[in-house]
């Protein structure tokens, strides 16, 4: 009887329908869309600094742009290092007070301070133990644990000799106290459950962000065109599909202090501009 009850509860959890995410009109196809400057055709990472500045960067260049969230215009730009040294795409950006962090797809963390317009700023790099097989895409700062969270689009496992199921996607935590990666994933996403409800083939994280008011986390997926909300313990709270007419390739995610949620979309080619879409809380 106990075994039957466990199987029933497991089946129920797997087949439970997730509600739409509350407080944001993600299904609105008439939401205002801002075209980003050509410098951000490949807009990837997005983050609000503690003083309200909105930071955005491209995949392939170590250039950080401060942009006006109301117009999409670039207010200031500065670059990392004296030379181009990036072997992998730069994917995510996050801030802790004045310090800015970025990650590349191999999971290396870059740490630096903001620069003046046109300046090249020095940076430090830190290996995490993640690799290109994990394909890190998202980066967020969690003040509750003083950790950076790295969302993986690729394999979930750190130890590829003992892989986690291919039906899961992982988010790992990198401590800013020890500058080491915690060995167990902070979150594991049940991809099959998510894709079954979306009727999509995949859900591959492209960005992660903590909501400053609720402490919940939002994970965005370009491959799957959707966004999920989960609590600090990793429990899924909601799931919303994103209209492809509004979000052709959603890559970056940021949430302002007032709860306004912004998504940036890669243009996909030099002739197609990136897009910035804002969702005020309802």
| Other Cβ atoms within 10 Å of 161 Cβ, number | 5
Calculate the CA dihedral of residues 245, 246, 249, 252 and round it to 10 degrees: -170
pLDDT of residue 201: 87
Please name the helix (run of DSSP H) or strand (run of DSSP E) that holds residue 151, with its range, or none. Answer: strand 147-152
Q: What average pLDDT does this structure show over 206-219?
A: 97
90 pLDDT higher than 60: yes
In contact, 142 and 135? CB cutoff 8 Å: no
The model's pLDDT over 135-160, given as tens digits with 9 standing for 90+, comes to 999 999 999 999 999 999 999 999 87
Rounded (5°) CA angle 281-102-187: 60
Torsion angles phi and psi, residue 133, rounded to 5: -70, -30
Tokens of 85: 């040294």
d(CA 26, CA 34): 16
**108-124 burial code (b ≥16 CB/10 A, e <16):** bbbbbebbeeeeebebe
pLDDT of residue 87: 52
The model's pLDDT over 157-193, given as tens digits with 9 standing for 90+, comes to 998 777 888 899 999 999 999 999 999 999 999 999 9
Q: Does 194 or 58 have the greater pLDDT score?
A: 194
147-152: strand order across its sheet? 136-142, 147-152, 168-175, 187-190
Confidence of residue 21 (pLDDT cuts 50, 70, 90): very high
Which of 83-97, 108-122, 218-232 comes out lowest in average pLDDT?
83-97
pLDDT of residue 67: 94
d(CA 68, CA 66): 7
Instruction: From 242, 241, 243, 202, select the one nearest 223 (Cα to Cα).
Output: 202
**66 burial level (CB within 10 Å; 0-12, 13-18, 19+):** middle
Domains parsed from the chain with CATH numbers? 21-279 (2.120.10.30)
pLDDT of residue 10: 42
88 pLDDT higher than 70: no
In whole angstroms, how far apart are CA 175 and each of 109, 132, 156, 181, 236?
11, 20, 19, 6, 24
Confidence of residue 60 (pLDDT cuts 50, 70, 90): low
Tokens of 87: 């072997």
Q: Does 214 or 5 have the greater pLDDT score?
A: 214
Q: What average pLDDT does this structure show over 94-108?
A: 95
Confidence of residue 4 (pLDDT cuts 50, 70, 90): very low
pLDDT of residue 159: 83
pLDDT of residue 271: 74
CA 118 to chain centre: 26
Report the percent of the chain where pLDDT is more than 90: 75
Which pTM was predicted? 0.91
In whole angstroms, how far apart are CA 66 and each of 39, 43, 189?
12, 12, 32
């Amino acid at each position: 009887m106990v075994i039957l009850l466990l199987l029933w509860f497991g089946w129920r959890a797997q087949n439970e329908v997730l509600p739409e995410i509350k407080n944001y009109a993600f299904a609105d196809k008439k939401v205002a869309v801002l075209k980003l400057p050509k410098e951000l055709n490949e807009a990837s990472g997005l983050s609000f600094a503690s003083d309200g500045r909105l930071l955005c960067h491209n995949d392939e260049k170590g250039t950080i742009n401060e942009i006006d969230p109301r117009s999409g215009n670039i207010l200031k730009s500065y670059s990392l290092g004296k030379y181009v040294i990036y072997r992998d795409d730069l994917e995510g950006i996050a801030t802790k007070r004045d310090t800015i962090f970025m990650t590349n797809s191999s999971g290396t963390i870059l740490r630096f301070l903001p620069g003046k317009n046109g300046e090249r700023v020095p940076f430090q790099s830190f290996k995490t133990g993640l690799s290109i097989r994990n394909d890190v895409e998202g980066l967020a700062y969690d003040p509750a644990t003083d950790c950076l969270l790295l969302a993986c689009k690729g394999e979930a496992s750190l130890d590829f000799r003992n892989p986690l199921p291919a039906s899961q996607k992982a988010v790992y935590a990198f401590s800013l106290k020890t500058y080491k990666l915690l060995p167990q994933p902070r979150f594991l996403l049940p991809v099959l459950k998510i894709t079954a409800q979306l009727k999509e083939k995949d859900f591959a994280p492209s960005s992660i962000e903590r909501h400053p008011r609720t402490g919940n986390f939002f994970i965005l997926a370009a491959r799957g065109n959707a966004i999920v909300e989960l609590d600090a313990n990793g429990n899924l709270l909601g799931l919303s599909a994103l209209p492809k007419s509004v979000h052709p390739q959603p890559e970056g995610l940021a949430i302002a202090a007032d709860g306004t949620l912004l998504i940036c979309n890669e243009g996909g080619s030099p002739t197609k501009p990136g897009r910035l879409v804002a969702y005020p809380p309802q």
